[in-house]
Every structure is written in structure tokens, then in C-alpha cells.
């Protein structure tokens, strides 16, 4: 069967849909490859009305893909021996917030909604990444304070829905952040309460007292779905599914077990329910995401298209191993039940999976938001211990080269970042490597005051930038691991 022909049937729901119990903000590929799969497996194991109402805060794409399929879609596990497909049916409805914010608020205030979960990326928290505090001048926050009945931001929807539940005497829901951020529950709590306090002190006090914001650690590599992926699925399964997602076989979800009105039996689906996720999330953010971002910037500059391509190049594999052994793991507190040496060895095997085509360009997106959590926290801990982490300074310099917008062959880079224009302007306005580094270190919302004023850190980044400029990323990596 040729992909895309009219006689190719569209995927449709198999069996009845579960009753809703969760509203999820941000139904992108990661959510479909992760949260929705865990929830499907939890309901299969232990039952419960935990169907998911998925809410897109911007685009109608997810609704347009999923609605004709009754919310069902295909999860494609990229096994080393080849892909394995299964149909997921935990999504029961998809709403597009800009089209009807009132419908979203109605769902969030419905008594059946006991959890509101989030995968809205760093940008969605409308905060200063360097401090974790709410940005009260963010355009979406200003809009949502002025027009609370038609919010634009996730925070605006959360605050208004909680305000309505409080006003009608309903109990609250649990706010469950599933974004790849350190202390994501604490961050969500801080910015939601801060925004509520700008509206109503008593509302803020009620949220602070009554609403749980458990932190989570999430981990599953989810390469982008392309039209080729959709076509291959159609050829092998006999139906068309533009909402399909692909992901590695591995998944890990660590959740603080604090819920105000129940939860699915995610433990039966393999999640780790714990009292505190901090050590696990530090392990993951620094060991996995830190090396992922390092490979993204250095790998892209060295013309490696994917993570698997990068670590197939021996110096780049050694780069990861050296970073883990000498710069990253020494800063990671021991998580309960984890062997850090085994964990990092498993990471390398995951990176090498030939079925995973995780683009370095994709991982490089939104670096201004990611760097503080993935790399700069490790740098700070190393500096506190009196060390200058040369490999991570090389990663920072590679990010600086990348956001300059020109690759090593003189070709433009499509930089996707909320601060892209400002970063490029700062880089273009400086002449020497040292001047470019200084200009970018001046972004306090990324580097804070401490790193911007750290002479040893600055010197190491300038040296790394000059090496990248003179020798290129490939030789810079080779020199670091020599």
C-alpha cells in the first residue's frame, strides 16, 4: 500500500474511551510518548477513570490530528532490532485553548478533574530561568491578569481554574509538572502562587495551603515525527496516523507521591513513587541532558546530524565519558536505588541506538532556557569546589558559537530560541572571541551575576571559543579528550 492514498484507512479508537480525570496542558510528542503511555498502562493494570483531556495552548495541530481518530494514536518504540507499534487510547478529548478558553476552564473546574498536568517546556512558566521567579512583565502574564476569563498562558489557566474552584467551594486539583526542569513542582508552585498573589492575596494563600505541586523526573528520548515516519507506519500497519510518536524503548518516571484527590496507579505501569525526586532529577538533568546539550552544540558544529551519529565518532563518545567521570558525576548527590556508573553506561547505550534519530538541531533549540539547568548548575558546583570544568566550558562556548547563527562552513544556522534575535545581535556586535563571550555572559537571565563575574570561568570559555574559532568543533573535542 502506497502511503497517503485515499484508500488508506485512518486510525480509529478501539473500544470505549475511559471517563476523564486528568487535564493535560501541552499535548506534544513527549506527552504522547510518555505521560499518556504510563496512564494507559496504569488504567489497564488497575482501572480507574483517568482519561486525559489534552489542551493545546497554541496550535490546533494536535486536535486536528487526534480528533478524527477519537483521540487514539500510535506509540512507536524504536527497538534496536526494529520499530514496534501499539495504539494508545488514554486521550479522550483535545481542546485548543485560543479557540475556546472557556471550554478549557470548564474542564479544569469540572469535579471529575483531579489532576492538571503540564508539559509546556521552559518557556511556558513565564519565569526568569536564572532565578526561577515569575516574570511579572511577561506579555502573557500581563494579558491574563487583565483578562482572567480568557487566559493565554498555562499559569493563567491554572490560577483562574483554581480561583473558580475555590469560589464554588470545590476542592483543588493536583498540579503535576512533567517538564524537564529541576524541581519542576517547586517551580510550578512558585510561579502559580506569585501570579495568584498579583490578583488576590487570599487566593494565593489558599493555593499555597491546599494545592499540591509534586515534583517529577521524566526521561524518554522522543525524536521528532516526520512524514517519513507516518508513511513507514502506514506501510507496516495498514492505516494512516499523523498523530503517531516515536521514542526509545527506555522510560523512567519518578514522582513525589503527593496528590490531593487520587491518581492513576502509575506504579503498576513502572513509575517510581518516592518522597523526594531531587537527587534523581539532578542525576538525569546533568548526566543525560547535560551531555545531550553538549553533543547538540558541538555535534551540530562538527556536522553530526543526530546524537547516534555523534557518539559513533570515537572522540565524541569519549567526550561524554570524560564529562561524566570528571565533571558531572562528582556534582551529583547519590539518588536512592541508583548506581551512577551503571546509569551513565546505560545512557551511552541509549545514545548509540541506531533506530533513534534524535537531531542535534532539535536538542539545540531553546538553549537560553535549558543551559541554566542542564550545564550551568554543574559549572557552579564545580566552581564552588575550586574546579574549572573545561569540558562544560567548551560546551558553553559551542552554544555561544551556535547562537551566533553561522556554522563553521559559513552557512546560516536556523536558531530556534526565544532570545535568538537578542543573542545574535550581541554576538554580531562584538569583534574578538573575548568580546563575544563577554557580550553573551552579560545575559544575566542565563548566567546570573556569579558566573558572569567569575574570571576563571570566563577565561576557560574564552579559551574554548578561540579553539572552536581556530580549529573547529571536531578538533576541539579531540583536544579535550586527548
pLDDT digits (tens, 9 = 90+) for 83-99: 999 999 999 999 999 99
Look at residue 268 and tell me whether its pLDDT is greater than 80.
yes
Query: Within a domain: residue 263?
Result: yes
- Do 265 and 283 fall within a single domain? no
Residues 251 and 285 in one domain: no
Separation of alpha carbons 271 and 371, rounded Å:
27
Does 133 lie in the same domain as 266? Answer: yes
Domain membership of residue 7 (yes or no) is no
pLDDT of residue 224: 86
Do both 39 and 167 map to the same domain?
yes
Residue 89 confidence (pLDDT): 98
Mark whether 71 and 188 lie in a shared domain. yes
Q: What pLDDT score was predicted for residue 325?
A: 97
Region for residue 102 given its phi and psi (left: phi exceeds 0; alpha: psi -120 to 50; beta: otherwise): alpha
Whole-number Cα distances in Å, 54 to 34, 57, 95, 240, 287 = 14, 10, 6, 21, 31
Please name the residues in contact with 473: beta carbons below 8 A apart, sequence gap of 6 or more. Answer: 298, 299, 301, 302, 398, 401, 408
Domain boundary among 274, 290, 313: 274
Nearest to 277 by CA among 330, 218, 328, 346: 218
Q: DSSP readout, 237-264?
A: HSSB-TT-EEE-S--EEEEE---SS---
Asked whether residue 97 is domain-assigned, the answer is yes
Q: What is the pTM of this model?
A: 0.78
Q: Identify which of 180, 193, 90, 93 has the alpha carbon closest to the alpha carbon of residue 136.
A: 193
Nearest to 452 by CA among 385, 380, 389, 394: 380
What is the spatial distance between Cα 99 and Cα 468, in angstroms, rounded to a whole number? 47
- Go through the chain and tell me how many residues it has: 482
Domain harbouring 139, CATH code: 3.40.50.720
Q: Predicted confidence band at 482 (pLDDT cuts at 50, 70, 90)?
A: very high
Q: Show the DSSP H helices in 139-289 as ranges.
A: 139-146, 154-167, 184-199, 201-210, 227-237, 278-283
Boundary-marking domain end, from 274, 293, 312: 274
Domain of residue 403 covers 278-481
Q: Are 175 and 212 in contact (CB under 8 A)?
A: yes
Please report whether residue 24 resides in a domain: yes
Q: Which residues contact 146 (CB under 8 A, 6 or more apart)?
A: none
- Give pLDDT tens digits for 303-357: 999 999 999 999 999 999 999 999 999 999 998 778 999 999 999 999 999 888 8
Query: Could you report the per-residue pLDDT of 401-446, keeping only the tens digit for each?
Result: 999 999 999 999 999 999 999 999 999 999 999 999 999 999 999 9
Kindly tell me if the per-residue pLDDT of 181 is higher than 90: no
Q: Does one domain contain both 122 and 236?
A: yes
Nearest residue to 338 via CA among 219, 184, 185: 219
Q: Are residues 290 and 385 in the same domain?
A: yes
Are residues 75 and 212 located together in one domain of the fold? Answer: yes
* pLDDT tens, position by position, 31-65: 999 999 999 999 999 999 999 999 999 999 999 99
As a whole number of angstroms, the distance between CA 255 and CA 188 comes to: 15
d(CA 182, CA 263): 22
The region that residue 138 occupies, defined by phi over 0 for left and psi between -120 and 50 for alpha, beta otherwise, is: beta
Q: Is the pLDDT of residue 5 over 70?
A: no
Residues 244 and 302 in one domain: no
Average pLDDT over residues 193-222: 96
Q: Is residue 14 part of a domain?
A: no
Rg of the chain on CA atoms, in Å: 23
User: Helix, strand or coil for residue 274?
Assistant: strand
Residue 433 forms part of a structural domain: yes
The answer to whether residue 323 is domain-embedded is yes
> Distance (Å, rounded) from C-alpha 211 to C-alpha 170?
12
Verify that 43 and 134 share a domain, yes or no: yes
pLDDT tops 90 at residue 23: yes
Into how many domains does the chain fold?
2
Please check whether residues 117 and 196 belong to one and the same domain.
yes
* % of the chain beyond a pLDDT of 70: 99
Given 214, 244, 274, the domain boundary residue is 274
pLDDT of residue 6: 53
Q: How far apart are CA 392 and CA 460, in angstroms?
A: 10
CATH number at residue 362: 1.10.1040.10
In this structure, is the dihedral angle defined by the CA atoms of residues 132, 135, 138 and 140, taken in order, positive or negative?
positive
- Is there a contact between 439 and 427 (Cβ–Cβ < 8 Å)? yes
C-alpha cell at 93: 478529548
Q: Which residues of 380-390 are buried (b: 16+ CB within 10 A; e: fewer)?
A: bbbbeeeebbb
Residues 145 and 246 in one domain: yes
Domain assignment of residue 10, yes or no: no
Q: Which of 48, 41, 251, 27 is nearest to 117 (CA)?
A: 27
Amino acid at each position: 500500500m502506497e502511503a497517503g492514498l485515499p484508500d488508506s484507512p485512518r486510525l480509529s479508537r478501539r473500544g470505549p474511551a475511559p471517563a476523564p480525570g486528568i487535564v493535560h496542558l501541552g499535548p506534544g510528542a513527549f506527552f504522547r510518548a510518555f505521560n499518556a503511555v504510563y496512564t494507559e498502562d496504569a488504567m489497564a493494570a488497575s482501572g480507574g477513570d483517568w482519561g486525559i483531556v489534552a489542551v493545546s495552548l497554541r496550535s490546533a495541530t494536535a486536535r486536528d490530528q487526534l480528533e478524527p481518530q477519537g483521540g487514539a494514536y500510535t506509540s512507536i518504540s524504536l527497538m534496536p532490532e526494529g520499530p514496534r507499534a501499539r495504539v494508545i487510547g488514554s486521550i479522550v478529548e483535545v481542546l485548543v485553548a485560543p479557540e475556546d478558553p472557556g471550554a478549557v476552564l470548564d474542564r479544569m473546574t469540572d469535579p471529575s478533574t483531579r489532576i492538571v498536568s503540564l508539559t509546556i517546556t521552559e518557556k511556558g512558566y513565564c519565569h526568569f530561568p536564572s532565578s526561577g521567579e515569575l516574570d511579572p512583565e511577561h506579555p502573557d502574564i500581563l494579558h491574563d491578569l487583565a483578562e482572567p476569563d480568557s487566559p493565554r498562558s498555562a499559569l493563567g489557566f491554572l490560577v483562574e481554574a483554581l480561583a473558580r474552584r475555590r469560589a464554588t467551594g470545590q476542592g483543588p486539583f493536583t498540579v503535576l509538572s512533567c517538564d524537564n526542569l529541576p524541581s519542576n513542582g517547586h517551580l510550578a508552585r512558585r510561579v502559580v502562587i506569585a501570579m495568584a498573589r498579583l490578583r488576590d492575596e487570599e487566593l494565593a494563600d489558599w493555593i499555597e495551603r491546599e494545592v499540591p505541586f509534586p515534583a517529577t523526573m521524566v526521561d524518554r528520548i522522543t525524536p521528532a515525527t516526520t512524514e517519513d515516519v507516518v508513511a513507514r507506519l502506514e506501510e507496516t500497519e495498514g492505516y494512516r496516523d499523523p498523530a503517531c510518536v516515536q521514542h526509545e524503548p527506555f522510560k523512567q518516571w519518578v514522582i513525589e507521591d503527593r496528590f490531593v484527590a487520587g491518581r492513576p496507579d502509575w506504579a503498576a505501569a513502572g513509575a517510581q513513587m518516592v518522597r523526594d525526586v531531587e537527587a534523581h532529577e539532578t542525576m538525569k538533568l546533568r548526566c543525560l541532558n547535560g551531555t545531550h546539550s553538549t553533543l547538540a552544540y558541538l555535534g551540530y558544529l562538527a556536522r553530526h546530524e543526530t546524537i547516534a551519529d555523534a557518539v559513533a565518532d570515537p572522540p565524541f563518545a569519549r567526550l561524554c565519558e570524560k564529562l561524566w567521570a570528571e565533571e558531572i558525576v562528582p556534582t551529583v548527590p547519590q539518588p536512592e536505588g541508583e548506581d551512577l556508573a551503571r546509569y551513565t553506561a546505560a545512557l551511552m547505550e541509549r545514545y548509540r541506538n541506531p533506530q533513534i534519530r534524535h537531531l542535534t538541531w532539535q536538542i539545540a533549540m531553546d538553549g537560553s532556557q535549558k543551559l541554566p539547568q542542564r550545564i550551568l548548575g554543574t559549572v557552579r558546583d564545580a566552581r564552588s569546589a575550586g574546579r574549572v570544568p573545561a569540558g562544560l566550558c567548551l560546551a558553553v562556548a559551542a552554544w555561544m558559537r551556535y547562537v551566533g547563527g553561522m556554522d563553521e562552513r559559513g552557512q546560516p544556522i536556523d536558531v530556534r530560541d526565544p532570545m535568538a534575535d537578542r543573542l545574535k545581535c550581541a554576538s554580531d556586535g562584538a569583534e574578538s572571541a573575548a568580546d563575544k563571550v563577554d557580550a553573551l555572559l552579560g545575559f544575566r537571565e542565563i548566567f546570573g551575576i556569579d558566573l558572569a563575574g567569575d574570571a576563571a570561568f570566563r577565561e576557560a570559555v574564552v579559551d574554548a571559543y578561540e579553539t572552536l574559532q581556530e580549529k573547529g568543533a571536531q578538533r576541539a573535542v579531540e583536544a579535550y579528550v586527548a
